[in-house]
Amino acid sequence: MVRFLGLDYWMKVEEIANGDEEFEIKSRAFVASFTFNVTEGSDVPAIYVKFDNGKVAEVRELAEGEKTDFTLEGPYDIWTQVNKGEIEGANAIMTRQLMFKGNMSEIIRYSKAFLRLFQVMEQVPVEY
Q: Which residues of the chain have pLDDT under 70?
A: none
Q: What pLDDT does residue 27 have?
A: 95
pTM score, whole prediction: 0.94
Please tell me the predicted confidence (pLDDT) of residue 79.
Answer: 98
User: Whole-angstrom Cα distance, residue 124 to residue 114?
Assistant: 16
107/71 Cα distance (integer angstroms) = 11
In angstroms, the CA 70 to CA 51 distance is 11
Domains and CATH numbers, the chain: 2-121 (3.30.1050.10)
pLDDT for res 77: 98
β-strand partners of 58: 50
The pLDDT value given to residue 34: 97
Q: Collapse the DSSP code of 33 into the 3-class scheme (helix H, G, I; strand E, B; otherwise coil) and give the result.
A: strand
The pairs formed by 11-15 with CB atoms below 8 angstroms and a separation of 24 or more are: 11/59, 12/124, 13/56, 13/59, 13/117, 13/120, 13/121, 13/124, 14/49, 14/56, 14/59
Proportion of the chain in helix, strand, coil states, percent, rounded to 5: 40, 25, 35
**Cα–Cα nearest to 111, from 124, 94, 128:** 94
3-class DSSP assignment, residue 65: coil
Looking at residue 88, its pLDDT comes to 93
